[in-house]
A = this chain, B = another copy of it.
Amino acid sequence: MAQTDPVRPGPTNSLVDVPGLQVGHAQLPGEGALSGTTVVLPGPDGVVAGVDVRGGGPGTRETDALDPRTLVERVHAVVLTGGSAYGLAAASGVADALGAAGRGFPVGRAPDEVVPVVPAAVVFDLGRGGRFAARPGAALGAEALAACTDTAPAEGVVGAGTGTLIGGLKGGVGAASAVLSDGTVVAALVVANAAGSAVDPATGELWGARHRHVDDVELPALPDDRSSLLAALQAAAAPPTLNTTIGVVATDAGLSVAQCAKLAAVGHDGLARAVRPVHGMTDGDTFFGLATTARPAPDLAALQEILTAGADCVTRAVVHAVLAARSVETPAGHWRAYRDLVG
């Protein structure tokens, strides 16, 4: 991105730069646990949502309700979680808590007669803490919901990113935002957990580095002699297991459900620029597109700008996830962070 690019990151360079969106993380406590849940929470009226599932091994909930042909336009939270398909239980905890608070699609006369629409997607991280059965459930979902705030969410080994790996290195949560020339905000939050790598094995640089915004987090300086770095990267590269990168791409523009699905779809293009290979059979890569609709519906040119920024935010968010990750050692393994490798 050239210095003359009119696009700038927002104040927090994260998902909460989209006014009205909050983020909360929670991690499983205790020995043998290395997993967690992240909740994206809109205001009480919800947020327009679409979805695009592009991975070969997805674990999802309530995605059919996001088809543009259905009645549902707005969702009341999005749950990103570890625990593979077991982790979908976290979304039930979020739905129960939202319903008890009267947040949801109204289906009766009483204020609490609502059904919250809570789409969810999972990443595979089972057993990485040493205990296979340590996985998010309904209580952890409710805890992540209760943790939601509009302050910049933590990145790295936190929330749904707690047990993530990316190309054998430690993965995590990352975020980025963009304020377009007309003031429209676009932002992404990703949980980076890919079979493929975020690092170019020929150079040791992050694939997504070339899409870095000049105001983004500084990239670490790489040594002139990279032979030991490249050897260490090669040693860290694990054979692909089950993985999955999931996330949210959001805007305050007035997008329709179908346009939100398109925003989610180009999020996968941003992912392709940050991770290689990507969208494999053992990745369940899934993005949700969200629009608070505080701003009016964009014209075609404005929509194109939003989509371009959405893809870039995902690439930048993956870079931020990798840079924010720290090395983790558990009874099940020792996963090094990119930052620790480059020294």
A residues with CB within 8 A of B = 53, 55-65, 67, 69-72, 84-86, 88-89, 91-92, 95-96, 99, 107-108, 110, 112-113, 115-118, 124, 126-127, 132, 137-138, 241-242, 281-282, 284, 286
The 10 lowest CB-CB distance pairs between A and B, nearest first, are A89-B92, A58-B64, A60-B64, A57-B71, A53-B64, A71-B281, A61-B61, A56-B71, A84-B115, A56-B70
A126 closest partner in B (C-beta): B107
- Separation of A258 and B56 alpha carbons in the complex (Å): 15
A96 closest partner in B (C-beta): B86
- Separation of A107 and B284 alpha carbons in the complex (Å): 14
- Separation of A56 and B85 alpha carbons in the complex (Å): 25
Cβ contacts under 8 Å, A242 to chain B: 107
Contact B113 A127 (CB under 8 A): yes
- Separation of A96 and B83 alpha carbons in the complex (Å): 12
A55 closest partner in B (C-beta): B70
- Separation of A19 and B95 alpha carbons in the complex (Å): 37
Contact A64 B63 (CB under 8 A): yes
Contact B99 A95 (CB under 8 A): no
Contact B57 A59 (CB under 8 A): no
A281 closest partner in B (C-beta): B71
- Separation of A328 and B115 alpha carbons in the complex (Å): 24
- Separation of A231 and B59 alpha carbons in the complex (Å): 48
Could you jot down 16 A-B contacts, CB within 8 Å?
A56-B70, A58-B65, A58-B70, A60-B62, A60-B65, A84-B107, A85-B116, A85-B117, A86-B115, A88-B91, A89-B138, A92-B92, A92-B138, A107-B241, A113-B127, A113-B132
Chain B nearest CB, measured from A236 CB (Å)? 20
- Separation of A22 and B65 alpha carbons in the complex (Å): 29
Contact B70 A115 (CB under 8 A): no
A59 in complex: contacting residue of B53, B58, B65, B132, CB < 8 Å: B65
Chain B nearest CB, measured from A45 CB (Å)? 18
Cβ contacts under 8 Å, A61 to chain B: 60-62, 88
**A71-B56, A107-B124, A107-B242 known; A64+B132 contact, CB < 8 A:** no
- Separation of A253 and B286 alpha carbons in the complex (Å): 32
A63 closest partner in B (C-beta): B64
Contact A72 B57 (CB under 8 A): yes
- Separation of A85 and B62 alpha carbons in the complex (Å): 8
17 new A-B pairs (CB below 8 Å) besides A64-B284, A85-B116, A108-B127? Answer: A55-B70, A59-B65, A59-B115, A60-B61, A63-B63, A65-B85, A71-B281, A84-B115, A86-B92, A86-B95, A86-B96, A86-B115, A89-B92, A107-B242, A108-B126, A113-B127, A113-B132
